[in-house]
Amino acid sequence: MRQKTAAVRLARVLSILERVAYNLAVCVMLLGFLFPILWMILTAFKPGREAFRIPPSLIFRPSLSNFVELFGARFEGGRILPVFLPNSIIVSITATVAVMVLALFASYALARFDFKGKNVLGVFVVASRMLPPIGSIVPLFFMMRNLGILDTKLALVLVYTALNLPLAIWILWGFVQGIPKEIEECATIDGCSRIGALFRIILPLTAPGLVAASIFTFIFSWNDFQMALFLTRANSKTLPLLALSFQTIEEGVVWGPMSAGGTLIMIPMIVFVLIAQKYLVKGLVLGGVKG
């Protein structure tokens, strides 16, 4: 009898230990993923040469001097705040709105209508995500030049829209399919047109999908470095291109302003993730796994 209770107790202790181990392991994993990001944000607020100190200082008087320097004339001729930031905002928002409108109609048609070539279209939407964007830069460069829109925000908007449409259509397609047809049929019987039903019924019901798809589009446009590197020169540069300007001849890499720049680019993204995390996970799973 006593032996048995000892065994039960041992099993219980083991299972608690195991749980502790899992929790610890997850904590270590999270620390590994988040610490580098936190470190850059911390470095951004370190004054002057504090960023270079080894052993690194954890306690210091936070200062905005790195941001002041970042926005000064030294980097990109002081155009970061008045030009790069608005460029990034305008391009990302315009691309996001364009993707949402186009994708809503396309995904609705794919989910609700039966038409010739529908399967081909579906495959086409999926397959176009396989193409490596790097493969398109040379022709895109000359296409934009021939259209006379090289180094304009329009060129970036066009490219980001085309690159993000497939994923958005994919996510929304799943969402529209999940809405029972009967709801719309009722609306049509009650005298609603197809478009009316789309806006009054489908739009609110697919809101989570729309939120997910639009945040993905926004973040990918906001984060894009590669396309902007090829398609912009002076006028339409966006924030991620800042990454190139912190290698200086006199001082090597300037850690302070670099961390400030990185933090500036990260902040909207982190805010979005925190606000819309639920939808993002759902969108990811739909976009990544479904099909």
- Least distance (Å) from another protein to the CB of residue 265? 5
Contact call for residue 10 and another protein (CB under 8 A) = no
Over the chain, what HEC string results? Answer: CHHHHHHHHHHHHHHHHHHHHHHHHHHHHHHHHHHHHHHHHHHHCCCHHHHHCCCCCCCCCCCCHHHHHHHCCCCHHHCHHHHHHHHHHHHHHHHHHHHHHHHHHHHHHHHHCCCCCHHHHHHHHHHCCCCCHHHHHHHHHHHHHHCCCCCCHHHHHHHHHHHHHHHHHHHHHHHHHCCCHHHHHHHHHCCCCHHHHHHHHHHHHCHHHHHHHHHHHHHHHHHCCHHHHHHCCCCCCCHHHHHHHHEECCCEECHHHHHHHHHHHHHHHHHHHHHHHHHHHHHHHHHHHCC
Task: Determine the interface stretch with another protein among 4-12, 61-69, 178-186, 218-226 (rule: CB under 8 A).
Answer: 218-226
Nearer residue to another protein within complex by CB, 40 or 201: 40
Contact call for residue 219 and another protein (CB under 8 A) = yes
Task: Determine the interface stretch with another protein among 6-14, 67-75, 177-185, 268-276 (rule: CB under 8 A).
Answer: 268-276
Q: Quick one: which of 2, 4, 33, 204 contacts another protein (CB under 8 A)?
A: 33
Contact call for residue 222 and another protein (CB under 8 A) = yes
Task: Count residues near another protein (CB under 8 A).
Answer: 90
- Least distance (Å) from another protein to the CB of residue 209? 16
Per-residue binding string, another protein, 174-213, x by CB under 8 A, is --------------------x-------------------
| Binding residues among 57-76 for another protein as defined by CB under 8 A | none
Task: Determine the interface stretch with another protein among 23-31, 72-80, 180-188, 200-208 (rule: CB under 8 A).
Answer: 23-31
Per-residue binding string, another protein, 97-136, x by CB under 8 A, is -x---xx-xx-xxx--x-x--x--x--xx--x-xxxxxxx
